[in-house]
Amino acid sequence: MARTFLEQLREMTVVVSDTGDIEAIEKFQPRDSTTNPSLITKAAEMPRYSEIVDGTLQQARKELGDRADPKQVANLAFERLAVAFGIRILKIIKGRVSTEVDARLSYDTQGTIAKARSIIQQYEQAGISRERVLIKVASTWEGIRAAEVLEKEGIHCNLTLLFGLHQAIACAEAGVTLISPFVGRILDWYKKSTGRDYAPKEDPGVQSVQTIYNYFKKFGYKTEVMGASFRNIGEIEELAGCDLLTISPELLGELNSREGQLERKLDPAKSKAMNIERIAMDKATFDRMHAENKMASDKLTEGIEGFTKALVNLENLLAKRLTEMEGKPEPALAGR
């Protein structure tokens, strides 16, 4: 009997769903799940999740009081909403959910640490073990330093917006639990820069993840590699065997409908045998490699700005929803 690519992929890679849509998670049954402000916004706009959104807003209003500005309430509600969706998701999946720290704290080590502790505290108050939560933090030098502190406290981190080997090595040496190199965004940069298309085998995003995976396995780092941000299933096929892959419901559907033989492309035994030079990583080396890698520096900045914009949009959406619920005049919202 023919087997689907998704069935075969599950045997060599942990499949993670990249969505805030609980129904999609129920359909594909990933082991882990990850969300971000854009995905939470999409879910929050779906009528079937209005109960979660409205309940979260009411709780935030109760905490801050009737005199608090709707934008203040919306800011608190964002964090609460991400956790609320995380709790719902954890009722479906067997593994972990990733919940993101406010992107506006990407260059603030102490702010990131405080926000991560707050998120974990909310999960634990809901009876969720910290072992089932990954705190998503941008892979800036400051974010990596925050993750190093958090990991020592037993707060596990998923370092996101990762585009270069220097970021990956710094994360591994900091003892980070998991990294999320962004395949599709790397491809986007190169397509725009060169004006050409890339076959999956020569896809720069695919090659970046392969390089990181081989480096980690060669030198025995425990940090897990989770390829993210895919544009097509060809990229996924080339990374079959990676520790984890986080995949959108649309691409999960394509993998589930394709049959044939899926070849394993990444294997730790093969990585061990490779001739790879070890790089000593410190801040000076990190900064130098980051400056030399225009793609990584461009995409990190762009990613933080994009996540920040998505967060502001979500807060605006929540503030508008709150005023509608309370029957008050709508406030002047940012970004209009």
Give me the tens of pLDDT residue by residue for the chain, a chain 336 residues long: 689 999 999 999 999 998 888 888 999 999 999 877 777 788 788 888 888 889 999 999 999 998 888 888 888 888 888 899 899 999 999 999 999 999 999 999 999 999 999 999 999 999 999 999 999 999 999 999 999 999 999 999 999 999 999 999 999 999 999 999 999 999 999 999 999 999 999 999 999 999 999 999 999 999 999 999 999 999 999 999 999 999 999 999 999 999 999 999 999 999 999 999 999 999 999 999 999 999 999 999 999 999 999 888 888 888 888 888 877 554 444 443
The dihedrals phi and psi of 37, each to the nearest 5 degrees, come to -55, -35
Report the pLDDT value the prediction gives residue 332, as an integer from 0 to 100.
45
Q: Please, which residues bridge with residue 178 across strands?
A: 158, 224
Vertex 184: Cα angle to 181 and 188 (nearest 5): 125
Report the pLDDT value the prediction gives residue 328, as an integer from 0 to 100.
55
Q: Please, which residues bridge with residue 224 across strands?
A: 178
Q: List residues with catalytic annotation.
A: 136
Q: Which two tokens stand for residue 271?
A: 């990585």
Q: Which sign does the torsion angle of CA 311, 313, 317, 320 carry?
A: positive
Report the pLDDT value the prediction gives residue 201, as an integer from 0 to 100.
96
Give the single-character DSSP code of 4. B
Tell me the residue ranges of DSSP E strands in the chain: 14-18, 32-34, 97-100, 133-138, 157-162, 178-181, 224-227, 244-247
Contacts of 91 (CB under 8 A, 6+ apart): none
End-to-end CA distance of the chain: 55
Report the pLDDT value the prediction gives residue 198, as an integer from 0 to 100.
97
Report the pLDDT value the prediction gives residue 38, as an integer from 0 to 100.
78
CB contact at 8 A, 30 and 251: no
d(CA 223, CA 157): 10
- Assign domain 5-326 to its CATH superfamily: Aldolase class I (3.20.20.70)
Q: Please, which residues bridge with residue 160 across strands?
A: 138
| Helix, strand or coil, per DSSP, at residue 213 | helix
Report the pLDDT value the prediction gives residue 72, as an integer from 0 to 100.
87
Per-residue b or e along 61-82, where b marks 16 or more CB atoms closer than 10 Å to that residue's CB: beebeeeeebbbbbbbbbbbbb
Residue whose token pair is 């780092």: 221
Would strands 178-181 and 32-34 be described as parallel, antiparallel, or unpaired? unpaired
